[in-house]
Chain A
Amino acid sequence: MSKAGVVLCRCNSIIDGRIDFEQLNKKLAADKKVQAVIQVDMACSPRGKKTIRELAAMEEVDRLVVAACSPFSKGAVFDGFALEMQMPKQLIELVNLREHCAWAHEIKDADKKALTLIKMGLKKVLAARDLGQWSAGCAHVNKLKCDRCKRCIEECPNRAIQLGADGYPAADPAICQRCGICVGGCPLGVIALPDFRLEEVSAMLAPLSSGQSPVIAGFFCNFAYQEADLMGQIGRQHSPGLHIIRVPCTGAVNMITVNDAIAEGIDGIMVVGCDSSQCKHRKGNELAKYRIANCRKGLEEQLLEQERLVYVSLGEGLVEPSVINRRKCVRCGLCAQICPYGAIKITDSGDYEVNARACRGCGACAGACRSGAVDLPQASGGKIMAAIKSALAG
């Protein structure tokens, strides 16, 4: 039987005062599925890692929950650790006790929240199973359950999924961006990413449902999750009832997960991501909104409030759009052709115009323009030359 080891990181004593680690330790040690609980001062330090190594080497422990900081802070450290210990990285679950708990809540709330978050991590890591997706390196379709409706092929923004010779869709690891849009759209929920599987996400919902009322499950895309980290870092608090679950893109949120959340009695579900056209995965958020709109109608029909399920856009992802110099532009249209986001269009007057909300600031147009008419303000030709000069001088 699988048992987990739990690591409680005090983050060099920074969060000591905010979470009662002794209590936490006691409560977790009593859990039947926990083999051992250890406390470390800094999980990412050599001494910390040594202690964790000993825990992982225990015979009965085959997976770990590391309650520490944001995966965007020290996640890479633990990926490396997994490699070193020859453990699949899917069996180490990082729980964000720092940015999303200790720093974000009052002391009286942080304790209870910490326990809930760790229990969620435990459920997830105990449910972790390889159905082929761990080594796939891309989205993986469970062919035993897939009914070949081909919606994933349709919805993939990168056209990474094709119909194989056996009639089943398969993703190309060379093209797949692991955004999870296919995972979110699959009506049967049979697609998984190497580190994102619907059953594992749903496993987290049971402990979540006993959090502080009103209980809200927040599915934050990578970008939004980092914004939430930032809030914690600058000391902004949020309601302890909000439990943040990281998803690769809001398009990866499947309505099956929403159904599971409602079944668990969770009060509300937030899907948090980018503003309308700023989605890094091009149309993940568009699809998320489409599915959510439909699901909300379903909630109403079930005599549940629509407002329980919301999409929240964070507008800060806007970038300064590229600028077209009309005097230099010869209207060849190459920029419009080359823009991967369809952000440049021809107007009625024949001029080419950049849609500020669609532009992602990649600069492909600036690089392609033969007339030097397009420039990116934050990476203009002038700035680049200045940087090169400075590098050559030094």
Chain B
Amino acid sequence: MPPKVDHTKCDGCRAEEEPLCEQICPGNLMTLNDEGKAICRENRDCWDCMSCTKICPQGAIETRLPYQLGYYPAKLIPKVGTNKIIWTCIDINGKVERFVVKTRND
């Protein structure tokens, strides 16, 4: 649930008035901190729709599950193409699975 932002990659969308993650979040949860880097204002309220993770141009956001639900350190990484997304899933044992999901026709 908690979207974790890598502040070495986040450029605050060049400090635009509304960075992409803040603009897209259906729960109004992403915002910029005082240093101009993205944070989730309330981890427990995230629904892990992963819209922020997909839209970040720097690939700075990682969606994680709370420890209540899943162990550490599994990863699910989306990379968005023009009409498809590649998902790379790495489980806690290091097993890797890749999926290519079509998202639009033509």
| Contact between B106 and A199, CB atoms less than 8 A apart | yes
Q: Which residue of A lies closest to B55 (CB)?
A: A187
Q: Size class of A's contact patch?
A: 20 to 34
Q: Select which of A147, A262, A298, A302 is within 8 A of B23 by beta carbon.
A: A147
Check A260–B20 contact: CB distance below 8 A: no
B positions within 8 Å CB-CB of A: 9, 13-14, 16, 18-20, 23-24, 55-59, 75, 77, 79-86, 88, 90, 96, 100, 106
State the CA gap A198–B80 with chains docked (Å). Answer: 13
Q: List 27 A-B contacts (CB under 8 A).
A: A127-B106, A147-B20, A149-B18, A149-B19, A149-B20, A149-B23, A150-B16, A151-B13, A154-B14, A154-B16, A187-B20, A188-B55, A199-B106, A256-B80, A257-B81, A259-B79, A259-B80, A259-B81, A259-B85, A259-B86, A262-B79, A263-B84, A263-B100, A298-B79, A301-B75, A302-B86, A302-B88
- A73 — which chain B residues lie within 8 A by C-beta? none
When distances are taken between beta carbons in the complex, the residues of chain A under 8 Å from B16 are 149-151, 154
Which residues of B are found within 8 Å of A263, using beta-carbon distances? 79, 81, 84, 86, 100
- Contacts A127-B106, A151-B57, A263-B100 given; indicate if A302 touches B79 (C-beta within 8 A): yes
Given contacts A260-B84, A302-B77, contact A295 B106 (CB under 8 A): no
In the assembled complex, which residues on chain B have CB atoms less than 8 Å from the CB atom of A27? none
User: Do A147 and B24 touch across chains, with their CB atoms under 8 A apart?
Assistant: yes
- Determine if B59 and A202 form an interchain contact, defined as CB atoms under 8 angstroms apart: no
Of A149, A199, A259, the contact of B13 (CB 8 Å cutoff): A149
**Contacts A147-B23, A301-B75; is A294 near B14 (CB within 8 Å)?**
no
Q: What separation, in Å, do the CA atoms of A255 and B58 have in the docked complex?
A: 10
Residues of the A chain whose Cβ atoms lie less than 8 Å from the Cβ of B19: 149
Are B82 and A256 neighbours in the complex by a CB distance under 8 Å?
Answer: yes
Q: How far is the CA of A148 from the CA of B22 in the complex (A)?
A: 12
Residue of B nearest to A188 (CB): B55
